[in-house]
Structure 1
Amino acid sequence: MDSTALDQFEASRGRLASLAYRLLGSAADAEDAVQDTFLRWQAADRERIGVPEAWLTKVVTNLCLDRLRSARARHERAAGAWLPEPLLEGDPMLGPADTFEQRESVTLAVLTLMERLSPVERAAYVLREAFSYAHAEIAGILDITESASQQHVHRARRRVAAQRRGGGEVDTASARRIVEEFLVAAASGHTERLVALLTADVTAVSDGAGLARRLLRYTTRERVASFVRAGFKPTAAKRRMAGGSPALHVALVNGSPAVVAVIEGRVVGAVAFEVSDGKVASLYGLAAAGRLARLNEAWRQHAPDAPIISAW
């Protein structure tokens, strides 16, 4: 491959990766899709490709659709054990964040909700909301009509909006203060204060550190508060399992405030929050080691703020 072709691909690599991540919810799978796209670019008759960016976008999108439609992916997602792979603020795979729609499309809440869309709905929604493609362009990428693109995007927007618990754009500093207050209340055992910080329709989802076959789900303020209190209550067994006593930091994960548990520079868990009207509307607990690989890599290169709790 000549240097011009390589430069053309590298100029698109970041955008392709952030598109693939939004479609697949997995950084590792997104990297595989981008690598497969590169191999196809390498083998293509590039003299016949008029617009390389459009060609590459079409290839990576359809590779992601193939993955979403695969028997393995359907089984993993249907088994109820799937959650998105979390990314730390500043990770280039988070991609464009200039508009509210772009920022929202990469939150754990929306990535999880997009699991309820068909693969083509998900692709049309991401291409339109996160990357501002025109419907004519989306139609060309997905091999559908322009009218079908409009219908897919409209249906996806409606389905995502119907399930959203947040109330639109949230000030990051305010959300961080709420999470800090929540963390202090959870660590102190003040369940009543925890309940007061939760919305009436709050939900919590946890991967159970990968030990459960299905995700753990909780509803009602009292049940969520009890789950959180139990999760943040230090015990000798938890310290043994984690390999020590973690420090608890507040950081941004997928654009949302999160508590990140760290032992000697190693991330052992994260809880991401969605905040609405000054209260916590949803929580996502992530502690399965395989789900934290990229977050761990980014944390090692990160200069975190001082922990809210220095020893759990």
Structure 2
Amino acid sequence: MTTPDQLAARFEEHRPHLRAVAYRMLGSLAEAEDAVQEGWLRLSRADAGEVGNLGGWLTTVVGRVCLDMLRSRKSRREDPFGDFAPEPILSRPGGVDPEQEALLTDSVGLALLVVLETLSPAERLAFVLHDMFGLSFEAIAPIVDRSTAAARQLASRARRRVQETVVTPDPDLARQREVVDAFLAAARGGDFEALVSVLDPGIVMRIDGPIAALVGPETIASRAIMFAGGPDRVAVPLLVNGVAGMLSVDDGKPFTLMAYTVVDGKVVAIDAISDPARLAALDLAFLDL
């Protein structure tokens, strides 16, 4: 018979995996923790002796909890354009902290999370659990109350949306940083041509989520120069979900957070957070602002 302490220890072994599942499903660290905790509560009330594959059982349970949370989130929205924007994971420029590694495997950048937010809850669950964590469609089908074939189709639709929108950044963080530094220097110097030269022709800049977006190097270069700011505004380098990013600080206060997707030496996407409430909620203690 499994004692409560033994059950808790077994659950803790799976916690990093469950947090990773929930973060991809919800795009929020706080909500991911809530979903994982609900998974523990359901396990503590279940007959653990009847659970053969604890990891698979917990993944299914947390997936179902996340699905309910996503459906509740969407049903509460009064403004159809007030889409939820994902919460970034911030790290020092030198690398991702060890406890963040499980959350950020498979290049879970803001760009991917933004696209996942445009999917239906069922599509998101099918894609995340199958494509990212290898859960079978036979296991996914009862979670979304669909047939196995329908669950496979949900993931297929989601996969097409992701493949059409999300690109994989260059793996060399040093090279990413060089390109981002060139972008910042050109913006600060008001050098329009130099700024355009580091931007991909198809660049997209998403601001505070999936709705507001700018497209094209000329449009984005003009905006970057306009908002480069004066001498009191400084650019603090950091990693945003594992890619080169920058926090713009004005008079000691966060002004804009940006994550840059760099491919073949060009910036192909910028995901920006400028909403004061979202900036205020960021954990920036490690920057010593």
Unaligned runs of 5+ in 2: none
In 1, Cα distance between the equivalents of 2:168 and 2:45? 47
User: TM (normalized to structure 1)?
Assistant: 0.78
Aligned pair in 2 of structure 1 residues 28, 97: CA closer, same or farther (>3 Å)?
Answer: closer
In 1, Cα distance between the equivalents of 2:115 and 2:79? 12
In 1, Cα distance between the equivalents of 2:211 and 2:226? 17
| 1:76 CA displacement | 6.9
Runs of 4+ with deviation above 6 angstroms: 263-266
Match of 1:161 in 2: 163
More displaced stretch, 60-69 vs 280-289: 280-289
Give a deviation string over 1:201-256, Cα, whole Å, max 9, x none: 22212239xxxxx9642222222112112222228xxxxxxxxx454222221122
Q: Give the number of equivalent residue pairs.
A: 282
**Cα RMSD for the two superposed structures:** 3.1
Give a deviation string over 1:173-202, Cα, whole Å, max 9, x none: 222210111011111211221122212222
Match of 2:256 in 1: 269
In 2, Cα distance between the equivalents of 1:176 and 1:40? 44
Match of 1:226 in 2: 222
Counterpart code for 2:67: L
Unaligned runs of 5+ in 1: 209-213, 236-244, 305-312
**Candidates 102, 126, 140, aligned match of 1:95:** 102
Match of 1:28 in 2: 30
Give a deviation string over 1:133-152, Cα, whole Å, max 9, x none: 34444446555444334322
More displaced stretch, 176-185 vs 49-58: 49-58
In 2, Cα distance between the equivalents of 1:169 and 1:253? 14
In 2, Cα distance between the equivalents of 1:109 and 1:163? 8
Aligned pair in 2 of structure 1 residues 303, 173: CA closer, same or farther (>3 Å)?
Answer: farther
Counting only pairs closer than 5 Å after superposition, residues 1-312 of structure 1 correspond to structure 2 as: 2-70=4-72, 72=74, 75=77, 78-89=80-91, 90=96, 92-93=99-100, 95=102, 102-103=106-107, 106-139=108-141, 142=144, 144-164=146-166, 166=167, 169-207=170-208, 216-234=212-230, 245-262=232-249, 268-292=255-279, 295-296=282-283, 299-301=284-286
In 2, Cα distance between the equivalents of 1:73 and 1:27? 21
Aligned pair in 2 of structure 1 residues 168, 264: CA closer, same or farther (>3 Å)?
Answer: closer
In 1, Cα distance between the equivalents of 2:276 and 2:35? 22
Give a deviation string over 1:238-290, Cα, whole Å, max 9, x none: xxxxxxx4542222211221112357997553111112332111111113354
In 2, Cα distance between the equivalents of 1:287 and 1:231? 12
CA contact (8 A) 2:104 2:241 kept: no
In 1, Cα distance between the equivalents of 2:268 and 2:78? 26
Instruction: Name the SS of the counterpart of 1:84 in structure 2.
Output: coil
Aligned pair in 2 of structure 1 residues 168, 271: CA closer, same or farther (>3 Å)?
Answer: closer
More displaced stretch, 180-189 vs 282-291: 282-291
User: TM (normalized to structure 2)?
Assistant: 0.83
Instruction: Name the SS of the counterpart of 1:248 in structure 2.
Output: strand
Aligned pair in 2 of structure 1 residues 265, 52: CA closer, same or farther (>3 Å)?
Answer: farther
CA contact (8 A) 1:85 1:292 kept: no
Match of 1:241 in 2: none
Aligned pair in 2 of structure 1 residues 44, 76: CA closer, same or farther (>3 Å)?
Answer: farther
CA contact (8 A) 2:170 2:264 kept: no
Counterpart code for 1:192: E
In 2, Cα distance between the equivalents of 1:283 and 1:185? 16
Give a deviation string over 1:51-70, Cα, whole Å, max 9, x none: 22222111111111111111
CA contact (8 A) 1:205 1:216 kept: yes
Aligned pair in 2 of structure 1 residues 46, 246: CA closer, same or farther (>3 Å)?
Answer: farther
Aligned pair in 2 of structure 1 residues 62, 273: CA closer, same or farther (>3 Å)?
Answer: same
Counterpart code for 2:203: V
Aligned pair in 2 of structure 1 residues 232, 302: CA closer, same or farther (>3 Å)?
Answer: closer
